[in-house]
Amino acid sequence: MHSDIYFSSHLASLLKFIYLKSIRFTNFQLEQEILNFSEGLRVLGLKPEEKLAIFADNSCRWLVADQGIMATGAINVVRGSRSSVEELLQIYSHSESVAMVVDDPVLYNQILETFHARATIRFVILLWGEKSSIKDVAAAEIPIYSYNEITSMGHESHTALLHSEDARKQYIYETISSDDVATLVYTSGTTGNPKGVMLTHENLLHQIKNLWDIVPAMPGDRFLSLLPPWHAYERACEYFIFTHGIEQVYTTIKNLKEDLQRYQPHYLISVPLVYETLYRGIQKQFSMSSAVRKLVALLFLRISLAYMESKRIYEGKCLTKNPEQPFFLVSLDWLWARIAAAILFPLHMLAKKIVYSKIHSAIGISKAGISGGSSLPFHVDKFFEAIEIKVQNGYGLTESSPVVAARQPNCNVLGSIGHPLKHTEIKVVDAETNKDLPYGSKGIVKARGPQVMKGYYKNPLATKQAIDESGWLNTGVIVLEGRAKDTIVLSTGENVEPEEIEEAALRSSLVQQIVVIGQDQRLLFYDEMVSVGLKPNEVTCGHVGLVNKGHQLFKSMVEEYGLNPSLQHYTCLLDLYIRSGHLEEAENILNSMSFKPGEAICASLLSSSRRVGKSEMGVRVANHLLELGP
């Protein structure tokens, strides 16, 4: 795969750069760097099909290491540096990795003790930083190389081979077939240990060859990159970028706002949370403006939202309309939408010139934002459409390398995930019988195509559950509704999809994240956290949801965890009793606790006692408040 990516990319454009702080590579220089890194690994004895772990975050050197490993015929095992030490060890051991590439000495020092005691490591490569920053015990027992040492080693070996006929004869890369495993990507499962997804060279090449239908980027275009490279979504996009001689600019969440303005990217490839953050940032700017400017901006935005809604209706791209309406009603809707759009169009263009042009200058993204990784909230989708920043939503999963379907520039239908990629089949089956369902039915989505994984590493049972004998991958998605595992089943047997509730709450600037859970499952996550050794803090007992359980948790902090309750613990318990109407119990705790109660909790109890007509209790609590002083 490396030759398809890098040998062709520099022919398309020799002058395009990758940025990381002060580092710049042309595509030709990047190709040479990859080949030198690859040869350095060969000199160290890395053999085809051996596993080499990469525990690092996004940078140009991550890409060099990734492609360098593949060029030797070896398999890289990828994960981010922010994962827990135990998770990294489990991935390293399960994958049977022989060595590892780590981000910097800080990460290696964190994992050193655990890995040294429980894993076999042939060598370690640091992408960044100096070996002098590593603890002495590591340097004494495990060979450690800096990034520059590996590339220098590879360059020297290449030079020697060019001048040695005998050595050149021995220097033959192992032939890599399309069905060979290129990488192991461990999924972040919600339960149990993550599973190793085996992606082949063919899987990855399918994405490279077919993403152009979604992102018709040209040499000279610029992409901004901030997602983890071990995420299949970011990885496929980076591979695609370099095959087309396009600029790649690496940034971080911290520097995103500045880099959007500085580099003015044509494309931003990110997750919905980033677009939500941009949306909130723009809304905040509106709210901080003068009253007149705020009124004008919000009025224009409403006009543009209405204009785009009308436009979607008369173009036949409105998914909220009932497709089974009588023809005359459809015709009336179409006619009204045409009239409304014609009236609103001049005002929308005025808004674009007066308001939206400033947003465009601040954000860049002159061609499109590509969203994937999770569901894009509909209100965010509509907002960017209204201000004429195109956002194309897509869907996929690690097991499909990852893209299965995405919205295309000429058919960007809001509320959808677009069309399947080329050579990709999609069908909907009944969740119970697994039988194919007709168009418009609700069921489980299955996908089949060249991008579907080879299977889960050393886990044939999980592979069989995910991919049937005909090669169909069970995506776990309920068509038209959401993810199957998100569905809440009520005691009546009715299925409830929580996404609509979450979507409504997320429209508020006061809500950043939300999750809807079943009423009788509120303690599920508490029990899970306790089972893995996490200790409850002072907030837990106040918001666990059940009075008796909350009191038990309070007691368990002393009896099971040996914690002395603080004022904050007591305050949370009092808050729980007051909110649930157990005022006598709250007063008893107030009188028995060894701490002075805070004014807020006394005021809350006083207000509650007045509301339910407990005047005597109110007097006693009022005296408590007076004793607290001014």
Report the amino acid identity of residue 169.
Answer: K
Q: What is the pLDDT of residue 301?
A: 96
Tell me which residue of 187, 299, 191 sits closest to 524, measured CA to CA: 191
Q: What is the pLDDT of residue 18?
A: 47
- Measured over the CA atoms of residue 328, residue 329, residue 330 and residue 332, the dihedral's sign is positive
Q: What is the pTM of this model?
A: 0.75
Q: 2-176 is classed in which CATH architecture?
A: 3-Layer(aba) Sandwich (3.40)
Q: How many helices (H) and strands (E) does the chain have?
A: 26, 23
Q: Are 5 and 67 in contact (CB under 8 A)?
A: yes
Q: 391-486 is classed in which CATH architecture?
A: Roll (2.30)
Report the amino acid identity of residue 519.
Answer: Q
**Residues in the chain, pLDDT under 70:** 1-22, 136-140, 165-174, 188-193, 478-500, 509-510, 517-563, 574, 576, 579-580, 594, 597-601, 604-606, 610-612, 624-630
Those residues whose C-beta lies under 8 Å from the C-beta of residue 623, and which sit 6 or more positions away, are none
Angle between helices 60-71 and 27-43 (to 10 degrees): 50
Three-state DSSP state, 26: coil
**Whole-number Å distance between alpha carbons of 448 and 47:** 32
Q: What is the pLDDT of residue 43?
A: 95
Q: Where are the domains of the chain?
A: 2-176, 271-386, 391-486, 522-627
CA atoms within 13 A on the CB side of 93: 13
Alpha carbon separation from 344 to 244, 301, 337, 351, 359 (Å, rounded): 40, 11, 10, 11, 21
Q: Where do the H-state alpha helices sit in 72-135?
A: 85-95, 105-118
Token pair 């015990």 in the structure block, residue: 137
| Reduced 3-state DSSP string for 328-386 | HHHHHHHHHHHHHHHHHHHHHHHHHHHHHHHHHHHHCCCCEEEECCCCCCHHHHHHHHH
Please confirm whether the linkage preceding 536 is cis (ω < 30° from 0).
no
Token pair in block for residue 56: 């690092």
Q: What is the pLDDT of residue 588?
A: 80
The tens digit of pLDDT for each residue in 51-92 reads: 999 999 988 899 999 999 999 999 999 999 988 999 999 999
